[in-house]
Structures are given as C-alpha cells and as structure tokens.
Amino acid sequence: MRLRSDGQLAPEAILAAARAGLTVFDTAHAYGEAGPGDNERLVARALRAAGWQGSARIVTKGGMTRPGGAWVPDGRAKVIAADCEASLAVLDGLPIDLYLIHAPDPRTPWRTSVRALARLADRGLVQRVGVANVTRGQLDEALQLAPIAAVQVALSPFEDRALRGGVVARCTELGLTLIAHSPLGGPRRAGTLARRRGLTEIAARHNVTVAETALAWLLHLSPNIVAIPGARRPESVRSAASAVALELDDDDRAALTAAFGGSHGPARDPKVSASAGLSGRGEVVLVMGISGAGKSRLAADYVRHGYVRLNRDERGSSLRALAGELDELLAAGVHRAVLDNTYLTRAARSRVVESAQRHSLPVRCV
C-alpha cells in the first residue's frame, strides 16, 4: 500500500491495512508536502501508533534531487548512498525491507547507479534492493550488476508499457516481484474507470466496486504482480485488500481486457520465420529503422510482390491505429502485409505481433 500524506488519517489507514492482512508500505525520500523524508516520517509514526512496526515491510526509494523546485533523477553514487542513510534516519530504527532507485538518471551511467545500489545491500543498510521505472534493457543490465529482488513500474488499465515492453514478462520469467504503482491510473484517471464499457456490469455481478474489479484484473496478469494503490482512508485500504480475493473467470478477464483497450499480456518477441515469405502461406513484415534508413524503398519491393503496405505517415494515423487496420485486413483474407515505421522498441512492435498471432501468421523483422 502507498500511504498518501494525511497526518490525521494515516494511523487509521495503517491499522486498517494491518487488520486486512496488508503488510507492505511504499514510500520514498522524495514523497511528502513538507520536504524530503516527510512521507517516510509519516509512515514510521503511523506504524508505531498502530503497533505494527514489527510486522511491516517498508519499501522506499532514493536517487532524486530538487534543483529548481521539481524532482528529477540523480543517480550519482554519493546521492544514492546519502538518500538511503537519510531514509534510515527518518524511519528512526525501522528497517528498510526493499530499497529502490527511483528512476534512471540520463546524466549518470546506469551501471554507476546500480553498483551504488548493490553496495547498500553489501553494507547491510537494507535487506533487498530493486529498480523502478525502468525499461526491459535497463532491467537486464541491472540484473548483471546487483541482486535485484523487485521492480516497480507504472501498470494499470491506462498504462501498459511495462507489459508491451517486456518488463512484466522478464519479472515473471525470473520470479522477481513486480510492484505496480498507480494501478488505477492515479488520482486524475481513477475516476474515469466507471465509464469503461463492461466494467460496471462485471463489478455489479460480483458485488464489488469498479476499482476492486480493475485491481483484480491487473493482479491476474501475472502471479508476480503486487499492486500498490494510493490510500489515505481506511475504507480505501479495505477496498484494495478485497481485490486480492476477487476471482475473475475467463469471460470476465476477456471482457475487461476489451474494456481496457485491447490485448494486455506480457509482450512477446517477434518471431522470425525462415520458411515464411514470398513462397510461404503468408506473413507480416516489420521494416524497422530510423528516418532516412531506406524503409520506404524496401517496403516498395514487398508491395511489388503482392504485400499490402501500412504506413503511418501515408495514412495519418498512430501505430496503435495501424495495428487495428492490420487486424481488419488479416480478418478480411489478406495474408501478406508490410509495415515500414520506426518500430525500434519491443513495446512499439507488440500490437502488430499480437494482430499477426491472432490470425496465426508469423512476423518477420527486417
């Protein structure tokens, strides 16, 4: 659970969490309205007031600075070490179960930040370490440098880059805990869930709230996912705990996936088929590259051999819309298609791969 700043309600929310069986409390040195460490201090005081300090598992984060009033990543080794020591001081004796780098710092080599993280565990300052707000590539590099135990990323019905980018798949493969922050889309978007087609009907059928239904759907995506919705009131805590026990059947999950905008599952790598192509029964070709790399010229060669071309610039649509057009073409009987857009990331390719897989066609990347 992520506890929002509310000094009066925090002890009540902590007690409600304890009674509901929730023991993980997420915070960060950068959280809080009164300055660095404010939210950590609030969590520590609330845990002690509730008598729960011996059973709670605290997750906190460091590696942020505030040079001009806004928080930005600062992955320098000395900053990560100083932030961790400051967190320990504010928590006043409560141990840190999991310490995360808040976000990669583009100004600092990622390996420098991760090695600094590893030293925190080596020194015994924290029990476990992890990373937050990373890509699949950054996670893989971190795994080579530190004993990464958990990953925290945004994951919700509104935000699926961690799924499509392969972070969820990697965590599932390696047994790493994936902590989904903002699992209902954050305060600004959570209220729009009730307008999602089909969601309210499923929630009513199970006699639960739309938020509980959305959380249950998210938790069903992988057994490694732990959701941490923000909570400041006891009723919000109890609602989040109820979502863990909610069982959704296959029809429920399929309907929710449609309500949330498409296929949500761990993105798979495009599969290269040596036998597919001009002489095969069909395929979808992704021509990848930066602007000016010759994608259009290569796509034209495929068109001359009977492939249907889908290009974002020509059609004035998004990559997501192109995947929808591809799905319609394949459903209509087209078996060869070429898409020449800047598909440099796993997440960008995933919708096309899923469309092809639904029609049992291989995908070839060029």
> What's the confidence (pLDDT) of residue 278?
35
Q: Give the percent of the chain with pLDDT over 70.
A: 90
Quote the pLDDT of residue 271: 35
Arithmetic mean of pLDDT, 151-180: 92
Tell me phi and psi for residue 100, to 5 degrees.
-120, 145
Residue 213 tokens read as 């239904």
Cα 54 to Cα 52: distance, rounded to the nearest angstrom? 6
DSSP notation for 174-214: HT-EEEEESTT--HHHHTTGGGSTTHHHHHHHHTS-HHHHH
Closest CA to 330 of 358, 364, 299: 358
More confident residue, 24 or 4: 24
Q: Which pairing describes strands 363-365 and 336-340: parallel, antiparallel, or unpaired?
A: unpaired
Angle at 263 between CA 262 and CA 269, to 5 degrees: 135
Average pLDDT score over residue span 116-136: 97
Q: Tell me the per-residue pLDDT of 334-345, one tens digit each, with 9 for 90 and over.
A: 889 999 987 878
d(CA 214, CA 253): 10
CATH architecture for the domain at 283-365: 3-Layer(aba) Sandwich (3.40)
Q: Give me the pLDDT at residue 274, please.
A: 31
pLDDT value at position 6?
Answer: 55
Between these two residues, 215 and 47, which has the higher pLDDT value? 215
Question: What is the spatial distance between Cα 181 and Cα 348, in angstroms, rounded to a whole number?
Answer: 22
Give the pLDDT confidence score for residue 3 in this predicted structure: 60
Residue 263 has pLDDT above 70, yes or no: no
182: left (phi over 0), alpha (psi -120 to 50) or beta: left
Query: What does the pLDDT look like over 67-85, one tens digit per residue?
Result: 877 889 999 999 999 999 9
With tokens 């565990």, the residue in question is: 121
* pLDDT digit string, tens, across residues 15-64: 777 777 778 889 999 987 778 888 899 888 888 887 877 788 999 999 99
Amino acid at 253: R
Domain layout of the chain by residue ranges: 2-259, 283-365
Helical segments of 66-193, H only: 77-91, 110-122, 136-143, 161-164, 167-174, 187-190
pLDDT, greater one: 150 or 11: 150
pTM of the model: 0.74
Q: Mean pLDDT, to the nearest integer, of 103-108? A: 96
What pLDDT shows up at residue 266?
Answer: 43
User: Is the pLDDT score of 113 beyond 70?
Assistant: yes
Given 3.20.20.100, 3.40.430.10, 3.90.550.10, 3.40.140.10, which CATH number is that of 2-259? 3.20.20.100
Cβ neighbours of residue 72 closer than 8 Å, sequence gap 6 or more: 64, 65, 66
Residues 55 and 272: their CA atoms lie apart, in Å, by 50
Residues 311-329, mean pLDDT to the nearest whole number: 87
Q: Between 267 and 56, whose confidence is greater?
A: 56
- Is residue 231 very low, low, confident or very high in pLDDT (cuts 50, 70, 90)? low
Interacting residues of 19 by C-beta distance below 8 A, sequence separation 6+: none
Better pLDDT: 173 or 238: 173
Average pLDDT for 166-190: 89
2-259 and 283-365 share one fold: no
pLDDT score of 264? 52
- Whether 100 shows a pLDDT value over 90: the answer reads yes
Cα–Cα nearest to 59, from 5, 23, 89, 90: 23
In the predicted model, is pLDDT for residue 273 greater than 50?
no
